[in-house]
Amino acid sequence: MPHPPHQSLQVAAVPPQPAPVRERDQDVPWHTEAVCRRDEAGLFFAPSKEPTAARLSREEAAKRVCARCPVMVECREHALLQPEPYGVWGGLTAAERRVALARRRRRDLELQKAARAAGTIAAAG
Ligand code: SF4
């Protein structure tokens, strides 16, 4: 299972830069282009009993790293599909991913309902 490495904490202090827009080489696994490093896990994952203010500050720092990552979309999708229950992935916290997943499920249900209704109308017509 790919697991993005995490960089040193010093990288998080760099002001956020927009992620460069470019085509990815699809033959290369997305996590090989991650800007974070495995040894930076402390920035992306909460230590036990982390105070709220410290958590919010740490998550914002992690999101700043994600904001300049060229594989943010791939990372986010990976975390939503697995799903990854902990940490900041693709610029989203675990709570934000739960909300995104709930919205996605609701949208899928509405699409299925609409498709069934359209099928019923077509069959009756
Ligand atoms: S989006 Fe964030 S967590 Fe994902 S690979 Fe990039 S820097 Fe790491």
Q: Would residue 90 count as lying in a domain? A: yes
Domain that holds residue 46: 30-124
d(CA 74, CA 3): 12
Q: Would residue 22 count as lying in a domain? A: no
Q: 50 C-alpha vs ligand 1 centroid, how far in Å?
A: 21
Taking only the tens place, the pLDDT of each residue in 23-76 is: 777 788 999 999 998 788 899 999 999 999 999 999 999 999 999 999 999 999
Single pTM value for the model: 0.75
> Does the CA dihedral 84-29-5-51 come out positive or negative?
negative
Q: Would residue 1 count as lying in a domain? A: no
Beta strands in 1-112 (DSSP E): none
Q: Would residue 18 count as lying in a domain? A: no
pLDDT (average), residues 9-26: 55
| Lookup: tokens for 23 | 């085509």
Q: Would residue 54 count as lying in a domain? A: yes
If one residue of 6, 66, 78, 93 were mutated to test the ligand 1 pocket, choosing by the most ligand atoms within 8 A of its CB, it would be 66
Average pLDDT for the chain: 85
- Determine the pLDDT at residue 25: 75
Long-range contact list for 79-86, CB < 8 A, 24+ apart? Answer: 80/104, 82/1, 86/45, 86/46
- Taking residue 10's Cβ as centre, other Cβ atoms within 10 Å add up to 8
State the total domains in the chain: 1
Q: Would residue 112 count as lying in a domain? A: yes
